[in-house]
Amino acid sequence: MAALAAPLLTRVLKHNAAWVLALAPLWIFLHFGGMLETVAGGNSVSGGFDWIASLGVRFSWYVDGLSLTFALLISGIGTLIVLYSGGYLKGHEQQGRFFSFILLFMGAMQGLVLADSFLMLFVFWELTSIASFLLIGFDHRREASRRAALQALVVTGLGGLALLAGLLVVAMATGANELSTLLASGEALRSSPLYAGAFVLLLGGAFTKSAQFPFHFWLPNAMEAPTPVSAYLHSATMVKAGVYLLMRFNPVMGDTAAWETVLPLFGGATLLVGTLLAVRQSDLKLMLAYTTVASLGLLVMLTGFGSEVAVEAAVLYLIAHSMFKGALFMVAGLIDHETGTRNIASLSGLRRAMPITFTAGLLAALSMGGLPLFFGFLAKEEIYAALAGTDMWAVAATLVAVVGNALMFAIAFAVGLKPFIGPLGDAPRKAHEGPLLLWLGPLVLAVCGLAAGLFSPFAHHLFSSPMASAVAGEPVAVEISTIPHLGLPLALSVLTVLLGIVAYLGQTGLRAAMASLVRTIGWGPDRGFDQSIKALVRLSVAVTRIVQSGRLDIYLTATFIAVALSILVPMVAFDELPAMPQVTEFWFYELTVVAIAVIGLGAVVYARNRLTAIVSLGIQGFAVALLFMLLGAPDLSFTQFMVETLSVVILALVMTRLRLAVSEHRPLGQKALDVTVSAACGLAFGLLLLKVTQLPFDDTLSRFFEVNAKVIAHGRNIVNVIIVDFRGLDTLGEIAVVMIAGLAILALIRIRAKDGAQAVSKQTERAQ
């Protein structure tokens, strides 16, 4: 509703529209905030109503610790994003359209995480893809924006189709079409032979949505969107939808070899790829974008690791990431807004000019770096507690996490600290602190990251523990605090910080090294996407040239060949050919009608010109009409007579208006093909009708119409009642088709007449 009202409110309220529109997500935040104690007590909230009752589909919702935490993040951060957008796009001519898109995006994501029915989940899943397409391509005049929007839509759209197929397989395997029912089904899905298919398809949806390697390339390109979109997309919405899906299905699909192998493998690869590519960037938004890819990989790796502590770590990191990443993106946008650049090489010394922005950026960087007192520190400690072990698998995962976290530490301070310290840089504009709407969001999120760490027992009670319980499928109590505990996790945290400091100090050299490595590798998935699209277009053009040649005779030939094969091949392959009927003695008038049909057929085949062939073709129809009359169907016979008469007359009239040769000269090969195709179609339909008549007659429909024709439709002629009442919409559709065809023909005739008149006029002018 807010999305619908946004354009009008923006025109009326001008610069104050953001404050009014932010009330919608704020109300949603407060509404779901009222459920915290209920859900924290181990309960869930559900409801809904019948959507498609005949198919058992409900518009239903399910609120537990997982969906509630997501709902609060989406609405809470969404409130700040709407306010931030009001300042960032102040004076933009399309600000109302932007507000409409961002609120649509917000509503779609809320529906996704709250959905209980599979169909509702899929509908909102696709709505997030559509809304993100509109937002990424908001500046549609730029080719880069259009390309990024199309790329995101194609990748996530294909993943959406995989999700739909996966949900259908899950429904077939378990009989459930709602998440709440599925979660109560226990081992039904894991023990099903359809588990592997469901696993692959659901991972296809989750990996494309959450930008897992090798589908990671679309997410950094989405930075073509305005900064408010980037901040919201990366912190609380679409990119976390895939992680939400994996967490939601963990209780019923986890604890298998496939789950605990594939997820950590792809998640770890995504973590490394994301951080290494982030180091290469010099644009603040791109640096943060690639660290989002890395963070999503870390979340996927933890979700699939298979232990209760890993689930706790994933939950803590997801909440912490939402706060510090949203804050840092808004800080990057604020810097760009005030200085005119996002290039890190041109930014320094902004602390005095932008003190509030500096405070927000530093606090968010401290949380992203995993330093004590912040919620990010709790997440990092729990990550190492979950991954550390003595087997090779645990050692490899721990090493990947340490390297990834260290590089993310360096990026965090490169964005949140480096632009503010040192001598004043050579930015295009002289910086000053932004307005309230711009710094309110990042400051609130950064302070929340600190407050959640300081008051961790309170945060765990309301958020972490209920969410971890929902992901694990059993009660889980998160108890980690900000007080450092001696042990291997703390040692790994210290090592991460030290490596992060080294990477931060040497980021210029790292950037050059990674740029050189990427140039050496050359090809990547992003370029591969462009190559795939070009190949698809070329293939489409080639196929179209073959199957859409523009010649009606080719279309008709192909159609009749397909019809003949679709009837004959199954009958032969499955031994369904009819038994040959007993030939009874014919009456002389029956033989006469058959003889007329055969003579008419000969006249058509041997006709010297088209007009004779058309008139001879009508003989076949008249012969069929005579058979209908002789066999006791006078109304059908009358209809056939009328149709054949009109067909012959209309075709004859049309032939007189077309500039065609008097006779047709087809080569022998074409004639042979036409004879073969027509004979195959005739044989196919003949055999099919024989087979149908040899089956037991089911008179259910006949009895229904006999009983109800008079009672319901008030008509005695059953055939007319079927056509006009029981199948009235079919008849209306047929009439509409005929009308449209007639109008099209009339338009073509008039165009031709106009062209002819113009040609005559030009000839007259030339003669004069």
- For all residues of the chain together, what is the average pLDDT? 89
DSSP state of 90: T
pLDDT attached to residue 660: 63
Q: How far is CA 698 from CA 36, 94, 286, 708, in A?
A: 60, 63, 68, 17
| pLDDT band, very low/low/confident/very high, at 750 (cuts 50, 70, 90) | confident
Burial 148-163 (b: 16+ CB within 10 A, else e): bbbbbbbbbeebbebb
- Supply 710's token pair: 């008079």
- State percent of the chain over pLDDT 70: 97
Residue 481 banded pLDDT, cuts 50, 70, 90:
confident
Q: Which residues contact 489 (CB under 8 A, 6 or more apart)?
A: 381, 382, 384, 385, 388
Question: Does the pLDDT value for residue 538 go beyond 90?
Answer: yes
pTM of the model: 0.79
Mean pLDDT, residues 201-207: 95
Lookup result for tokens 């012959």? 648
The whole-angstrom distance between residue 4's C-alpha and the CA centroid of its chain comes to 22
Token couple for 453: 């760490």
Q: How far is CA 345 from the centre of its chain?
A: 38
Higher-confidence position of 407 and 430: 407
Q: What angle (nearest 5°) sits at the alpha carbon of residue 175, between those of residues 172 and 177?
A: 95
Q: The tokens of 420 are what?
A: 């503010």
Per-residue pLDDT for 240 more than 80? yes
Q: How far apart are CA 423 and CA 419, in angstroms?
A: 10
Least confident of 99-113, 216-230, 597-611, 691-705: 597-611
pLDDT per residue as tens digits for the range 667-716 = 888 888 988 999 999 999 999 999 998 888 888 888 888 888 888 888 88
Give yes or no for residue 546 having a pLDDT over 90: no
**Structural contact between residues 281 and 290, judged by C-beta atoms closer than 8 angstroms:** yes
| Pairwise CA distance, residues 648 & 234, whole Å | 68
**Partners of 50 in the β-ladder:** 58
Domain spans of the chain?
A: 1-253, 265-505, 596-664
**Residue 428 belongs to what H/E stretch?**
none
Residue type, 479: E
pLDDT band, very low/low/confident/very high, at 765 (cuts 50, 70, 90) = low
What would the DSSP string read from start to end of 648-662? Answer: HHHHHHHHHHS---S
* pLDDT over threshold 70, residue 664: no
Query: Given a cut of 70, is residue 377 above it in pLDDT?
Result: yes
Predicted pLDDT at 629 = 87
How many angstroms separate the Cα of 759 from the Cα of each of 545, 562, 766, 768? 32, 42, 11, 14
Asked whether the predicted pLDDT for residue 762 surpasses 70, the reply is: no
Q: Burial letters for 525-548: b for 16+ Cβ neighbours within 10 Å, e otherwise?
A: eeeebeeeeeeeeeeeeeeeeeee
* pLDDT the model gives residue 389: 79
Residue 430: the pLDDT is: 85
When mean pLDDT is compared across 364-368, 376-380, 724-728, the lowest value belongs to 724-728
Residues 576-598, mean pLDDT to the nearest whole number: 82
Between 220-224, 363-367, 623-627, 660-664, the lowest mean confidence (pLDDT) is in 660-664
Q: Is the dihedral of CA 509, 514, 515, 521 positive or negative?
A: positive
> For position 270, what pLDDT does the model report?
95
Q: Tokens standing for 443?
A: 């400051």
760 has a pLDDT exceeding 60:
no
Residue 347 dihedral angles phi and psi, to the nearest 5°: -115, 125
Report how far residue 358's alpha carbon sits from residue 335's, in angstroms, rounded to the nearest whole number.
10
How many C-beta atoms surround the C-beta of residue 662 within 10 A?
8
Q: What is the pLDDT of residue 484?
A: 74
Average the pLDDT over 555-560 and give the result. Answer: 90
pLDDT value at position 767? 59
Q: Give the pLDDT band (50/70/90) at residue 608.
A: confident
Per-residue pLDDT at 736: 92
Residue 645 has pLDDT above 70, yes or no: yes
Residue pair 111/120 in contact by the 8 Å Cβ criterion: yes
Q: Return the closest-CA partner of residue 372 out of 279, 489, 463.
A: 489
The two three-digit tokens of residue 146, written as one number? 């259009």
Confidence of residue 717 (pLDDT cuts 50, 70, 90): confident
Question: CA separation (Å) from 473 to 195, 310, 319?
Answer: 18, 13, 19
pLDDT 10s digits, 443-460: 999 999 999 999 999 999
DSSP readout, 488-514?
Answer: HHHHHHHHHHHHHHHHHHTHHHHHHHH
Q: What is the mean pLDDT of residues 375-385?
A: 93
Give pLDDT, residue 112: 95
pLDDT bin (cut points 50, 70, 90) of residue 589 is: confident
Pairwise CA distance, residues 171 & 174, whole Å: 5
Supply the pLDDT for residue 756: 56
Nearest residue to 622 (alpha-carbon basis) of 655, 593, 602, 586: 593
Q: Compute the distance between CA of residue 581 and CA of residue 723 in angstroms, rounded to an integer.
A: 32
Give me the pLDDT at residue 753, please.
Answer: 58
pLDDT value at residue 329: 93
Q: What is the pLDDT of residues 45-90, one digit of tens each?
A: 999 998 888 877 889 999 999 999 999 999 999 999 999 999 999 8
